[in-house]
Structure formats: C-alpha cells, structure tokens
Amino acid sequence: MEIEVYDTYGASEKGNKIHFDVMLPIGGNEREATSYAEDFINKIAESTDSIKLESCKFCHTEEAKSNVSEKVEKDGYCIVPIENCPNPY
C-alpha cells in the first residue's frame, strides 16, 4: 500500500521538540493530517506538559510497512512517533 507521509513537529512548554509522522492513504490532505496530529498531541499532552503543534507538512509518498498499512486500512491514518513522543496508550 502506498501512503502519504506528513512530517510533523511540535514543542512542549519545557522546550522539548516533538517529532512524529502522520501517515495517510494516497489522496489525503494537509488539513486531515493536521487534525490527526492535533488529536495525537492532545493524547500525549495528558501524560506530559502542554504541547503546541508547530507544523504538519506533506513530505513524500512511500510503500507502507505491514503494521502501518494495517493501521491505515483500519483507522484511516497512522501516527509514527520519531522523537520525544510519550506513548499515548
């Protein structure tokens, strides 16, 4: 499955940079990716200090790994934590 990758950054009140990718099926858009990013930030902010979304921009398309593909097919998106992201689950 081909997916779109949206490179996403935020910052905590303590100055920590938060980096994660929002992955959508082909045909997604930045508004949709930003909405998923904001939901994710709300989840992780409950377990850390306040976090503000700084950017969510389309980066590239790629062939999804099986676990990402399954999540995108089930939920319509997948969040992949990269840097300084507490587990929201």
Provide mean pLDDT across the span 1-15: 92
Quote the CA–CA distance of 24 and 42 in Å, as a whole number.
Answer: 19
Reading the block at residue 58, the tokens are 């389309």
Q: Determine the 3-state secondary structure of 55 from DSSP.
A: strand
Contact residues for 46 (Cβ-Cβ < 8 A; gap 6+): 88
Handedness of CA 38, 26, 82, 75 (dihedral sign): positive
Residue with tokens 């909405």: 35
DSSP state, residue 21: E
Per-residue pLDDT tens over the stretch 14-57? 888 999 999 999 999 999 999 999 999 988 886 556 888 999 99
